[in-house]
Amino acid sequence: MSTSLLKQPNTVKAVAGAVLGAVLFGAEIGYWGQAQSMVSFNRAMTGSVDIEPSANEVTLMTCTLYIVGTIFALPPVTRIFAGGLGRRKTIMISGVLFAIAMAMQAASANLPHPASRSLLYAGRALLGVPVAFSVTTSPMFLSEISPKEHRGLITGMFQFTLAITIVIAGGIGLAIHTYYPDSDNGYQYTVWWMVPLGLCVTLVMYFNYESPQFLLISGKDEEAKEVFLYLRKGVDETKTHQEFESLRDEIAEEKAQGELNLKRLLSGYTLRLVMIVIFMQFLQQFSGMNILNNFAPKLYASVSSSADLLAWIATVVQFLGNIPSTLLVDRLGRRPLLISGAVFLAVLWGIIGILGATIIHHPSHCYKILDCPEGYECDTDEARYTSQSMATENICGDVGSSGYTSCSEGLTLVPSDTFNLDCLYSGDGVPTADNPYPTLALPVGYAFVALTFVINFVFNVTIGPIIWTYNAEIAPSIAQDQIVGLSAASNLCFNGILVSPVISSLIVATGFEAFWLFAAIMAVGAAFFYWLVETKDQSIAIVTEKWEEKLKCEYTGHHHAAITSNEPLDKQHPPTSDDKESSEERLIDQDEDVVEGENMEADA
């Protein structure tokens, strides 16, 4: 029987501080989606509230964060910060950088164009650094301070906190956009409140402790023992000492092999783990969720005049999905949740693919009017055309009619939206020259909205949070900063690819058929997740041993028996000759260690 977290208050306090690293990424995601629809954002980007920035420019600004973030999550950087300065100090630095980056973006709303645009770009670029640090270091820190029986719950709190911050940041942006729709500087108010938020993260982490693993790696064994005893206050003392000794022995064995440089990282056992965590992030990002998020707002607009509200409700559904995830991950295990999530998503994408093939139609082109010929009336707001000839016939009449040539020459069309979603229709709702208003039947639209909510929920119960947990669990202590860094770098890189013109072109070219690709990826994912080693209730030493066996590749050769609470300690961890020789010394040390832990708690 594992010790309840409620009986480990010091661990709970440490987790409450470390999990705040997630708010940095969550706040960025939440505000950015709302900010782009504000006229004040238009003014900062183009100099006019009436001129929207092009889709490519918004994509470039979005990708800027992911490019910088990918670079700062790579092993050469994580070795300096998370692996050199430490997990705690890295999160502290990220809080300060986040505050500066958000202040720069907020201040851009009050500058004239093009200075406003330049400062906005600079703020987005700088924001990539704390985002990289947070998604790299916070899951790692949480994994390292967690009791193995509760590691899934605790590391899952990263995604839980991320999701609730997205809801809060998006809700603030939605409220400002709703009540001040015409404000030419309202964008800044979606951002300013994040400046003290970043500083709060730094302040809280200042009063937190460094992780025992990092202290052991740094050669600070006594301090590591003090922190470990402090965190495990409330757990059986004998078991706590045995767990610490196992961790210390494992790290000592890893350190004995020498420094883990890039060459060693990308060879043998660790190379195989690197490939696994990168592929896991590929499956998470190419599960189709981000593409769905691009489709959904346009479909929300087809069934409701409050499309922004429905989009925000979708983030609430995502948050709600994290609740059962955190409650189930340490009961069911990681593999069952990952497998079931992949299977459900494959089926749901298949249903959407069928809808796209039979009911919802996605034209290959979609235009709106930019310039109307002089003397003619045009609907530049709602009218949509699937071809140049359709628009010309609608505005100028039939070929050969009076004024047709001058009218057609004065008519200028532009793509309606990046994905041609403004021209989606069902049944008899096809746009024509006589009626250029595509219509999606309400039952079809509501069915799709319901599907998007179900997909959001399933993703956040399973693949969304569990992959972050799993990738942090399988990395050996010495390699954890670099492997988790590569995991985060690949996540940000794949994020950047998904918002790039490459994926936009795929959607334009294939329409709803793209979802069959995601169904296939999830089918592959289900098979891959079935192959994985289960990490539930296992120490890193046992997880490493299991992966050594599965991969047929030895890491340290240092093996440990699993520690369970259902067997006597001498059966759980049979004593070696060295253990027998030092057992009396360890028994004497235990009383001293307990006193050290109590003194540390009193200091805290």
DSSP count for the chain of H helices, then E strands: 27, 4
Most confident of 36-50, 104-118, 171-185, 252-266: 104-118
DSSP of 534-601: P-TT--HHHHHHHHHHHHT--SS--------TTS-HHHHS---HHHHHHHHHHHHHHHHHHHHHHHHH
* pLDDT for residue 291: 72
Share of the chain above pLDDT 70, in %: 90
* pLDDT for residue 298: 65
Could you give the 3-state DSSP secondary structure of residue 236? coil
Question: Lowest-confidence range among 90-104, 322-336, 476-490, 494-508?
Answer: 494-508
* pLDDT for residue 549: 93
* pLDDT band for position 575 (cuts 50, 70, 90): very low
In angstroms, rounded to a whole number, what is the distance separating the alpha carbons of residues 303 and 426? 13
pLDDT higher than 70, residue 270: yes
* pLDDT for residue 590: 47
Supply the Cα-derived Rg of the chain in whole angstroms. Answer: 27
Are 570 and 376 spatial neighbours (Cβ–Cβ below 8 Å)? no
In angstroms, rounded to a whole number, what is the distance separating the alpha carbons of residues 539 and 486? 22
Which residue carries 């699993």 as its tokens?
562
* pLDDT for residue 196: 96
Q: Which residue has the higher pLDDT, 545 or 52?
A: 545
Could you give the 3-state DSSP secondary structure of residue 273? helix
Which residues lie across from 369 on neighbouring strands? 413
Structural class in CATH, domain 19-227+261-358+445-531: mainly alpha
* pLDDT for residue 193: 94
**pLDDT per residue as tens digits for the range 502-543:** 776 777 777 777 889 899 999 999 999 999 999 998 888 889
Distances (CA, A) of 311 to 58, 171, 174, 367, 413: 19, 10, 10, 24, 29
Which residues lie across from 385 on neighbouring strands? 367
DSSP of 119-159: HHHHHHHHHHHHHHHHHHHHHHHHHHHS-GGGHHHHHHHHH
Q: pTM of the entire structure?
A: 0.82
Spell out the domain ranges in the chain: 19-227+261-358+445-531, 553-603
* pLDDT for residue 3: 83
* pLDDT for residue 603: 52
In angstroms, rounded to a whole number, what is the distance separating the alpha carbons of residues 87 and 81? 8
**pLDDT per residue as tens digits for the range 160-182:** 999 999 999 999 988 998 888 88
pLDDT higher than 90, residue 310: no
In angstroms, rounded to a whole number, what is the distance separating the alpha carbons of residues 449 and 300? 7
Q: Which residue has the higher pLDDT, 506 or 545?
A: 545
**pLDDT per residue as tens digits for the range 345-393:** 999 999 988 988 888 888 888 899 988 998 899 998 889 999 999 999 9
